[in-house]
């Protein structure tokens, strides 16, 4: 191809001026220009192909993606299956050699997937495992929970779940990078229902901190140790969405990519969830996707050519020009600007058509009036003219709006170009400062190396003194230290009172309880910095929760025991039926009963003649209430007459 390009006939003005006319020479110049451009592009393509096919880029990358949603013994999770599909598609688009996507795995299926993946990792340079689902931390060790786990007791975790060490063993043979991504920090429902076989066994909230022992190994959590992650309200979790946005960027170092993921998740969760990465890498950049190779030789800046074409179309200002620009550049910032210019031209055309229609309507109205048309036709023409005028006004307003939009878009374009130029200048200045700093550090190291060895060594006595010297003490005052220790004792469940800064007998008993359940031997008579550090190292509750009478433990809180009607809280702190009370005679009751009997005996007998009639010389009538009939005891009555006696 190079021989063809070099063999093109060169133009000789002196020899050809008599053979070709002006049009022929112009056509020859254009042909030579296009031919040379085609040759340069072909040579550039060959160089690019040779660079891309070099052995340096032939790295084997493999990935295993697992997502568990359909849990059989607890609530189903919504997003892990969707997150697994999103991350698996991301790895495939990033050009990974092998991507296995597994969903809703039980314990045996998870072990088989890890075993098969370990076989692919043996000859791989980069190995990645992503897991979304439930996880649990038990005694400082993290476990992944399969879909068939029941976890009725804390001891079942060892048999039914997979430890994180099993995952790390699967990626151990990778040569350059070992990456584990755990979106398993969700609030675990098993922790509230499982029974504790050992009271001192700690079950933490979220996952525990992990420090990989193998080099070039990173473990990324959706939320930092001791906290939980959100499953999200949309199709995917915030952590998975951020991973899909930043990890596949070509040439972006993993540490910086996870920093961008952290910023996105904090922003989307209102600073409630902070992803965290454990492990370390070397000084070189380690991108998940290699950077695109730069073409050798001078290359034209496509952005400059795009801007030049845009400015040319802007000078033309016609519909055909903008349509041709959009056919060449259908997407991007300048394409949006071109569409705005087309809208502006369309608004102008609409306004012109409406104005022409209004002019025609006015002429028709004048013609009808001149010909003395009927009144109905004149009103119809007037209405049409009015409608045309309103359409013209609307078109004029639309034109003004599109004009304003086009001007705003043009201003935005200029601002974006200025910002890009400023960012480029700042980047160059930062690189210059970085180079100067590296040179300064190298000079300082050289100066230190030139000093005598005796000056750099510490005398033996001073070394022993430095070894025996205690570590710098904390800058906290005694009251602040006491209050900090009390606060941490409250957090781990060993102190129920408030942190008042007074190391009382209650605080001493709380620290003694912590020593008992945490296996430490701190002096309970005083608050120390070592005790504070040991308390801070515990991620969750250490002392078991003890509730007062009438209350029961519910997770990390004591709730009041409520019994149904007819039941009460018994001595064993359980609901029991209230026994029925039997009447018991007392001395006061017998005294009242005797008094009532005496009053009844001393009272006059009540009349039993209710409804009787009494007859006298004046006539007969009913006996009054409370009265009775007796024989008249007066002399001369001979006991034959009756009288009414009332009390």
Decide if 130 contacts 183 (C-beta within 8 A): yes
Confidence class for position 62, pLDDT limits 50, 70, 90: very high
Decide if 276 contacts 224 (C-beta within 8 A): yes
Query: In the predicted model, what is the mean pLDDT of residues 573-584?
Result: 78
Decide if 292 contacts 248 (C-beta within 8 A): no
Instruction: Indicate if the pLDDT at residue 638 is higher than 70.
Output: no
- Separation CA 161–CA 151 (nearest Å): 9
Instruction: Indicate if the pLDDT at residue 109 is higher than 90.
Output: yes
Instruction: Indicate if the pLDDT at residue 573 is higher than 50.
Output: yes
Residue ranges of domains in the chain = 61-279, 302-330, 479-537, 545-574
- Kindly report the number of other CB atoms within 10 A of residue 536's CB atom: 13
pTM over 0.75: no
What's the pLDDT score for residue 243?
92
The sign of the dihedral angle between the CA atoms of 70, 76, 80, 85 is: positive
User: Tokens in use for 227?
Assistant: 């906290």
The 3 state secondary structure assigned to 515-528 is: HHHHCCCCCCCCCC
Residue 612 exposed, middle or buried by CB count within 10 Å (0-12, 13-18, 19+): middle
What's the pLDDT score for residue 55?
37
Instruction: Indicate if the pLDDT at residue 613 is higher than 90.
Output: no
Mean pLDDT rounded to a whole number for the chain = 79
Instruction: Indicate if the pLDDT at residue 306 is higher than 80.
Output: yes
Confidence class for position 16, pLDDT limits 50, 70, 90: very low
Decide if 497 contacts 485 (C-beta within 8 A): no
* Residue of 179, 267, 264 whose CA lies nearest to 217: 179
- Separation CA 513–CA 519 (nearest Å): 10
Q: What is the pLDDT of residues 449-501, one digit of tens each?
A: 776 554 545 445 444 444 444 444 445 688 888 889 989 988 888 988 888 88
Residue 320, Cα to own-chain centre: how many angstroms? 48
What's the pLDDT score for residue 301?
62
Decide if 185 contacts 247 (C-beta within 8 A): no
Long-range contacts of 289-293 (CB under 8 A, 24+ apart): 289/94, 289/95, 289/247, 289/248, 289/249, 289/250, 289/251, 289/252, 290/57, 290/59, 290/250, 290/251, 291/250, 291/251, 292/250, 292/251, 293/48, 293/51, 293/52, 293/57
Beta bridge partners of 642: 631
- Separation CA 91–CA 138 (nearest Å): 32
Higher pLDDT, 404 or 589: 404
- Separation CA 254–CA 252 (nearest Å): 6
Instruction: Indicate if the pLDDT at residue 25 is higher than 80.
Output: no
What's the pLDDT score for residue 199?
59
What's the pLDDT score for residue 110?
94
Q: What is the pLDDT of residues 207-228, one digit of tens each?
A: 888 888 888 899 999 888 777 8
Instruction: Indicate if the pLDDT at residue 232 is higher than 50.
Output: yes
Confidence class for position 551, pLDDT limits 50, 70, 90: confident
What's the pLDDT score for residue 45?
42
Higher pLDDT, 187 or 48: 187
* Residue of 398, 416, 403 whose CA lies nearest to 333: 416
Helix, strand or coil, per DSSP, at residue 575 = strand
Confidence class for position 181, pLDDT limits 50, 70, 90: very high
Query: In the predicted model, what is the mean pLDDT of residues 16-37?
Result: 47
- Kindly report the number of other CB atoms within 10 A of residue 508's CB atom: 15
Residue 319 exposed, middle or buried by CB count within 10 Å (0-12, 13-18, 19+): middle
Query: In the predicted model, what is the mean pLDDT of residues 262-285?
Result: 88
- Separation CA 10–CA 17 (nearest Å): 14
Confidence class for position 524, pLDDT limits 50, 70, 90: confident
- Separation CA 632–CA 642 (nearest Å): 5
What does 236-299 look like in DSSP terms, one character per residue? Answer: S-HHHHHHHHHTTSTT-BHHHHHHHHHHHHHHHTTTS---EEEEE--SS--BSSPPPPPPSS--
Terminal CA-CA length for the chain: 150
What is the percent of the chain where pLDDT is above 90?
A: 25
Query: Which class is 61-279 in CATH?
Result: alpha beta
Instruction: Indicate if the pLDDT at residue 70 is higher than 50.
Output: yes
Query: In the predicted model, what is the mean pLDDT of residues 128-143?
Result: 89
Q: What is the pLDDT of residues 78-104, one digit of tens each?
A: 889 999 999 999 999 989 999 999 999
What's the pLDDT score for residue 569?
84
Q: What is the pLDDT of residues 346-396, one digit of tens each?
A: 999 999 999 999 999 989 888 888 887 678 888 888 899 999 999 999 998
């Amino acid at each position: 191809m190079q021989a063809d390009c070099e063999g093109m006939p060169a133009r000789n003005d002196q020899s050809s001026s008599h053979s070709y006319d002006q049009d022929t020479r112009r056509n020859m110049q254009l042909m030579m220009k296009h031919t040379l451009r085609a040759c340069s592009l072909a040579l550039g393509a060959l160089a690019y192909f040779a660079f891309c096919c070099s052995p340096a880029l032939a790295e084997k990358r493999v990935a295993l993606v697992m997502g568990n949603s359909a849990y059989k013994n607890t609530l189903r999770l919504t997003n892990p299956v969707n997150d697994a599909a999103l991350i698996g598609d991301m790895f495939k688009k990033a050009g990974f050699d092998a991507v296995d996507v597994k969903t809703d795995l039980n314990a045996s299926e998870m072990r088989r997937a890890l075993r098969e993946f370990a076989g692919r990792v043996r000859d791989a340079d980069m190995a990645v495992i992503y897991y979304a689902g439930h996880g649990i931390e038990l005694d400082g060790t993290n476990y992944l929970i399969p879909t068939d786990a029941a976890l009725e007791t804390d001891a079942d975790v060892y048999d039914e779940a997979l430890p994180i060490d099993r995952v790390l063993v699967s990626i151990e043979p990778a040569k350059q990078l070992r990456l584990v991504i755990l979106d398993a920090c969700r609030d675990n429902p098993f922790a509230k229902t499982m029974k504790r076989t050992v009271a001192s066994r700690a079950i933490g909230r979220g996952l525990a901190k992990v420090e990989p022992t193998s080099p070039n190994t990173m473990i990324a959590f959706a939320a930092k140790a001791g906290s939980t992650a959100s499953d999200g309200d949309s199709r995917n979790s915030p952590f998975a969405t951020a991973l899909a946005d930043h990890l596949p960027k070509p040439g972006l170092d993993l540490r910086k990519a996870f920093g961008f993921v952290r910023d996105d998740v904090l922003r989307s969760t209102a600073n409630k969830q902070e992803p965290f990465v454990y492990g370390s890498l070397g000084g070189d950049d380690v991108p998940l996707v290699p950077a695109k190779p730069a073409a050798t030789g001078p290359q034209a800046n496509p952005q400059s050519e795009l801007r030049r074409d845009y400015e040319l179309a802007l000078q033309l200002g016609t519909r055909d020009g903008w349509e041709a620009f959009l056919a060449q550049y259908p997407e991007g910032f300048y394409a949006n600007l071109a569409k705005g210019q087309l809208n502006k031209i369309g608004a102008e055309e609409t306004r012109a058509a409406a104005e022409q229609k209004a002019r025609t309507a006015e002429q028709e109205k004048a013609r009808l009036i001149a010909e003395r048309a009927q009144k109905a036709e004149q009103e119809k023409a007037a209405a049409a003219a009015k409608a045309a005028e309103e359409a013209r006004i609307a078109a004029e307003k639309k034109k003004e709006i599109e004009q304003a939009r086009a001007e705003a878009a043009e201003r935005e374009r200029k601002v974006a170009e200025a910002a890009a130029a400023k960012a480029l200048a700042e980047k160059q200045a930062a690189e210059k400062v970085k180079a100067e700093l590296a040179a300064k550090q190298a000079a300082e190291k050289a100066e230190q190396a030139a000093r005598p060895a005796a000056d750099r060594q510490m005398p033996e006595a001073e070394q022993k003194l430095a070894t025996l010297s205690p570590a710098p003490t904390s800058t906290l005052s005694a009251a602040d230290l006491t209050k900090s220790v009390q606060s941490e004792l409250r957090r781990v469940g060993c102190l129920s009172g408030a942190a008042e800064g007074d190391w009382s007998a209650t605080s001493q008993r709380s620290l003694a309880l912590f020593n008992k359940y945490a296996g430490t031997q701190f002096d309970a008579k005083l608050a120390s910095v070592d005790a504070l550090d040991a308390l801070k190292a515990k991620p969750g509750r250490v002392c078991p929760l003890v509730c007062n009478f009438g209350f029961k433990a519910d997770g990390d809180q004591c709730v009041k025991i409520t019994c149904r009607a007819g039941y009460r809280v018994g001595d064993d702190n359980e609901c029991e039926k209230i026994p029925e009370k039997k009447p018991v005679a007392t001395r006061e009751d017998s005294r009242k009963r005797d008094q009532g009997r005496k009053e009844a005996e001393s009272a006059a007998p009540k009349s039993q003649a209710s409804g009787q009639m009494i007859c006298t010389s004046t006539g007969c009538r009913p006996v009054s209430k409370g009265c009775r009939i007796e024989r008249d005891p007066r002399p001369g009555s001979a006991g034959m007459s009756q009288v009414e006696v009332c009390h």
